[in-house]
Amino acid sequence: MPEIIIIGAGLTGLSTAYHLKKPFVVLEKHKTPGGLCGSISDGGFTFDHSGHLLHLHDPLTKPLLDGLMAVKLDKIARQASVFTNRRYVPYPFQANLYYLPEKIRKECLDGFIRRARKRSFPPNTAFQEWSNSVFGKGITKHFMKPYNEKLWTVSASRLTSDWVAPFVPQPKLAEIISGANNRRNKEFGYNVSFYYPEAGGCQSIVNAFYDNVDNVRLGVAAGRIDPINKRLETSDGKVLRYEHIISTQPLVELLGNIKDLPASVKSAVGALSWNSVDCLNLAFRSDSRSTCPARGQHWLYFPEKKYVFYRAGIYSNIHPSMAPEGFFSMYVELSRKPGERFDGKTALSHTLAGLRDAGLTGKNSRPEITRVLKLPYAYVIYDKKRTAALKTITSFLAKNDIYSIGRYGAWEYSFMESSIIGGKKLAAKLNK
pLDDT of residue 362: 85
CATH number where 296 lies = 3.90.660.20
Q: Is 289's pLDDT higher than 80?
A: no
Is 376 buried (19+), middle (13-18) or exposed (0-12) by CB count in 10 A? middle
303 with 320, same domain: the answer is yes
289 with 354, same domain: the answer is yes
Structural domains of the chain, count: 3
Encode pLDDT of 351-379 as tens digits. Answer: 999 999 999 998 888 999 999 999 999 99
pLDDT of residue 1: 61
Q: Mean pLDDT across the stretch 226-239?
A: 97
Decide if 73 is inside a domain.
Answer: no
85 with 146, same domain: the answer is yes
Cα gap 317→77, rounded to integer Å: 11
Confidence of residue 36 (pLDDT cuts 50, 70, 90): very high
The chain-wide mean pLDDT, for the chain, equals 95
Decide if 296 is inside a domain.
Answer: yes
407 with 261, same domain: the answer is yes
Decide if 54 is inside a domain.
Answer: no
Confidence of residue 286 (pLDDT cuts 50, 70, 90): confident
Cα gap 355→134, rounded to integer Å: 32
Decide if 42 is inside a domain.
Answer: no
359 with 388, same domain: the answer is no
118 with 168, same domain: the answer is yes
280 with 260, same domain: the answer is no
Decide if 53 is inside a domain.
Answer: no
CATH number where 204 lies = 3.50.50.60
Decide if 50 is inside a domain.
Answer: no
161 with 18, same domain: the answer is no
Q: Is 16's pLDDT higher than 80?
A: yes
226 with 264, same domain: the answer is yes
pLDDT of residue 288: 47
Q: Is 185's pLDDT higher than 80?
A: no
pLDDT of residue 364: 84
Cα gap 344→63, rounded to integer Å: 42
Q: Which of 127, 188, 131, 136 is nearest to 162 (CA)?
A: 127
CATH number where 177 lies = 1.10.3110
Decide if 48 is inside a domain.
Answer: no
pLDDT of residue 287: 67
257 with 386, same domain: the answer is yes
Please give the model's pTM, rounded to 2 decimal places. 0.95
What range does the domain containing 238 cover? 4-37+200-272+382-431
Q: Is 184's pLDDT higher than 90?
A: no
Dump the DSSP string for 221-270: -EEEEETTTTEEEETTS-EEE-SEEEE-S-HHHHHHTBTT--HHHHHHHH
Q: Is 426's pLDDT higher than 80?
A: yes
Dump the DSSP string for 74-137: EEEE--EEEEETTEEEESSGGG-GGGS-HHHHHHHHHHHHT----S---TT-BHHHHHHHHH-H
Q: Is 77's pLDDT higher than 70?
A: yes
Decide if 263 is inside a domain.
Answer: yes
